[in-house]
Amino acid sequence: MISKKLEKAINEQIAKEIYSSNLYLSMAGYFSSISLAGMASWMRAQSTEELQHAYKLFDFLLDRGGLPVIGKIDSPPNHWKSPLDGFQVALDHEKIISKSINDLARLARKEDDLSLEVLLHWFITEQVEEEATVSELVDRLKLASDSPGGLFILDNELRNTPIAQ
């Protein structure tokens, strides 16, 4: 049985993952609206992935006799100054999520909940990968800032982004 303290903390993380999903879906809409279909497709896949993260925590809570409670989820922004600004916001957001996951892992350790710690190892690894991927896209967008050609090459590369399960 999961402790009440951890149940609350996991529910807060579920809300953050759902917010992340909504943020990236909103970005997908923004990129579609400026005809960058590849970036829109990448953001849509990212949105789906974030929802899978929420489900992982949701299912873990149920398996451990806890109750998932979906808290208040703020509306995400729906406009960014440029493609670079959008991806920079995504990178900054992922850094906040990494900190939140690390805090949750520290709490699991403090509460001596080994199964939650093991689950969070997956999330910690995932965050390293996500930050590296978005960081590379930010760098490439900076390089492409003076060249519309570079922007369209990158957009084309991001078309048909596979959705991770």
Minimum CB separation from ligand OFO for residue 104, in Å? 10
Minimum CB separation from ligand OFO for residue 116, in Å? 14
CB closer to ligand OFO, 20 vs 26: 20
In one-letter notation, the amino acid at residue 11 is: N
CB closer to ligand OFO, 50 vs 155: 50
CB closer to ligand OFO, 94 vs 144: 94
Q: What distance in Å separates the CA atoms of residue 143 and residue 165, rounded to the nearest whole number?
A: 31
Q: Can you state the percent helix, strand and coil of the chain, rounding each to 5?
A: 80, 0, 20
Q: What distance in Å separates the CA atoms of residue 84 and residue 137, rounded to the nearest whole number?
A: 9
CB closer to ligand OFO, 80 vs 123: 123
Minimum CB separation from ligand OFO for residue 21, in Å? 8
Minimum CB separation from ligand OFO for residue 153, in Å? 25
The residue nearest ligand OFO at its CB is 53
Q: For the chain, list the strands marked E by DSSP.
A: none
Task: Of 40, 42, 70, 43, give the one whose Cα is nearest residue 54.
Answer: 70
Q: What distance in Å separates the CA atoms of residue 1 and residue 60, rounded to the nearest whole number?
A: 11
Per CB under 6 A, residues contacting ligand OFO are 17, 20, 50, 53, 94, 97, 101, 123, 126-127, 130
